[in-house]
A and B are shown apart, each in its own frame.
Chain A
């Protein structure tokens, strides 16, 4: 564990969710902060323009990456189709066509990609499944993002004993088998899919916290943070206005990796039979149903697999592109 020296002490006066740390050595400028009128302007002056030009620069470089741009376009297309598609199709999610059980793709009966073994339109279910897969991934990623970023930034910023304790907790979480935690969560929250994925997000934040902590440790020595401190800006503001925005690059990259990870996790849990409840479905559920039918009804495997693979492909390419675009060292 690091023994990072702790240049700034925090006063945790405004009730930010910081764990009560050990004895913080009193520092010359700690204590009740004076009302700081010049602070917002300073913030804007020191960080915002730099951030904006960084973003513009990154976007410029991303847009030159053809693979990433194509991925972005396809990803948007998939999302749009999944959101709008089901309204345009004649079948409902749970609607059974009593005349078509497990039929193949055809144009005759408006089941363009065939039906599943329960006589429900496969295309409709794939699109609804996409909604679920994408939204659970988003929910879990956002939860892990929020927890991970706050935790990492606070830990890195406060440093010292607090940092040590907080990272120790991360170590403990790492030593718990992830599958065990996830299965227990599935069992406990079994009724609500979004609750489950919020909970999964709540155990997925460990890497994020480590990354952000590392960034914070590096950033907090930089001049503009020291300047903010000298101007008497409160710790919470320094963390939320300066540290987190400046750590955003690696965070974005990590999120593009977390989303596919959660999508895969969801499909794995579906394979174990712990997926969403019927009549809802997800790509993972559809794929694991399709695997059973691989030889006799290959389209039941191919269609959802195609959507899943395309999405994961795009997310990964986009993530690589973002990394290249955001990382100054790879220029």
Chain B
């Protein structure tokens, strides 16, 4: 064989591999929404999913007892209505008669019983099983100590679901908007096992149903004619493109290849404000960017004076104006101000001038035995992420004049989170994005011994206030107790909050029905194109 023959052969083989020019993404007369969707989903099993890029697909495919409207408010979903008992421990959900799966079968209370038992079963090993721990017996079932039928969930008839809780959980209804509580089709799971989420196998009960899934390429969902509100769903198809590179997402938005993108690259925000002002949305979401102080035994950060000094010397506005350039609200507390039904405290120093704060910070450090002559050496750990790498640099520069020498250390996600878990750090980046709209979703992070208490913070007064709040039925009383707990936390300077998140989104001006909302949930069922 000569080289010429070889090249010709390879050429033919490759040309044969190339399919003819694919049709354009938008077919005539059909409304097709193309969403740049963060990353490749790890799974489309609602009970195993964990990421926001999975939730955004799952809320289109499935519908829980409750759903969210375009503004993120809870609206009835499969449950048309519900009642709560006076002690707040019993819920009765009345399921709508016309709720159907995409194969035409009705959605019943039994589907929820099955799904909730499933997520809690030790064999499934669902990461988000803890979301359901407020339900009676859930934790014991998940540990494998009790059989699944001891779970406080029963179907008294096909359209009535009875739920018993461990304790009155103020956010229970809001929590039901989370995909981990969505129903799943038992027959498909029985038939296909772990392959049940593949196109063709997946049966869903949401506004859309899965039609294509090519890993790392796209997921297509078409309108589900069996959906109870199908006549009000305008889009014929939604395509989720797993674009994990924010620059690529921006490029493709500008090139008109996607209609929505859930990010804007760091450093391009001012450009986007100028050039894409009609498409750019900046809105607060329920999330706090904070750093955890390691307060385990033997850590230098066990000294409250040092924690306070580090908090005092932080020019939060410089970071949000000059570094992130997103003008996020400065955080002087743990719980975001945008959270519903909660009026929390802030650090005591918020009303002082920067000069007063710096003077106090110096005095505190000196009292603790540190200063420019005898610098305090700290290591600040971050996760490898181009979007947040500038912030630690700025922190180090701000603390330096006080005599605090910071060594920056970034690691890949697996190493970083392993370090947090093992308490092998001094100051560590710990952003928290809410799973449901309730202050306890943040405040629970500092309860002694809970998994995400990275700081190792432990304060019995705090714990007992949080326990008291968990068992308080009265909403305003509960909120006030939680605020008292947060006061304790802030007086301890137990964390280093920086800002509350602003979420950026690019949405084509021709797309209507998209609304910025604090949960950052955007079901496609409310959207449509005005001209196409």
Contact = CB atoms under 8 A, between A and B. Distances in A.
Direct contact of A and B (CB under 8 A): yes
Interface of A: 94-96, 98, 101-102, 117-119, 186-187, 190-191, 273-274, 277-279, 288-289, 291-293, 295-297
A278 B410 contact: yes
Contact of A187 (B266, B397, B412): B412
A278 B393 contact: yes
Contacts of B396: 94, 279
Interface of B: 247, 265-268, 270-271, 318, 322-323, 384-386, 389-390, 392-394, 396-397, 408-412, 414-415
11 contacts: A95-B397, A117-B390, A118-B393, A186-B412, A190-B409, A273-B410, A288-B386, A292-B265, A296-B268, A296-B270, A296-B271
A94 B386 contact: no
A279 B393 contact: yes
Given A94-B393, A277-B408, A278-B393, A101 B267 contact: no
A191 B407 CA distance: 11
A279 B247 contact: no
Contacts of A186: 412
Given A118-B393, A278-B410, A98 B318 contact: yes
A305 B271 CA distance: 22
A288 B409 CA distance: 19
Contact of B390 (A95, A118, A191): A118
Contacts of B267: 102, 117, 292-293, 296-297
Interface of A is mostly: loop
Contact of A273 (B268, B385, B392): B385
Contacts of B318: 98
Contact of B415 (A96, A117, A187, A291): A187
Contacts of A94: 393, 396-397
A273 B390 contact: no
A295 B271 CA distance: 9
Nearest to A98: B318
Contacts of B397: 94-96, 118
B39 to A, nearest CB: 15
A278 B247 contact: no
Nearest to A271: B386
A119 B389 contact: no
Contacts of B270: 296
Given A96-B393, A96-B397, A117-B266, 13 more contacts: A95-B397, A117-B267, A117-B323, A118-B323, A119-B322, A273-B412, A274-B412, A279-B393, A279-B396, A279-B408, A292-B267, A293-B267, A297-B267
Contacts of A101: 322-323
Given A274-B384, A278-B408, A279-B408, A292 B393 contact: no
A212 B267 CA distance: 48
B323 A191 contact: no
A101 B322 CA distance: 7
A187 B394 CA distance: 25
Nearest to A300: B267
B271 A273 contact: no
A119 B393 CA distance: 10
Nearest to A99: B322
* 8 cross-chain pairs, A with B, having the tightest CB-CB distances, nearest first: A273-B384, A96-B397, A101-B322, A278-B408, A296-B271, A292-B267, A118-B393, A293-B267
A117 B396 CA distance: 15
B409 A277 contact: yes
A289 B389 CA distance: 11
A7 B259 CA distance: 72
Contacts of B266: 117, 292
Contact of A191 (B322, B386, B389, B409): B409
Contacts of A273: 384-386, 410, 412
A179 B412 CA distance: 15
Nearest to A291: B247
Nearest to B387: A292
A30 B392 CA distance: 64
Contacts of A187: 411-412, 414-415
A242 B410 CA distance: 47
A213 to B, nearest CB: 28
Contacts of B390: 117-118
Nearest to B247: A292
A98 B400 CA distance: 14
Nearest to B379: A191
A267 to B, nearest CB: 14
Contacts of B271: 295-296
B241 to A, nearest CB: 21
Contacts of B323: 101, 117-118
B409 A292 contact: no
B372 to A, nearest CB: 16
A195 to B, nearest CB: 14
Nearest to A186: B412
A38 B396 CA distance: 64
Contacts of B409: 190-191, 277
Contacts of B414: 187
Nearest to B270: A296
A155 B21 CA distance: 54
Contacts of B411: 187, 190
A187 B397 CA distance: 27
Nearest to B394: A118
A291 B397 CA distance: 25
Nearest to B390: A118
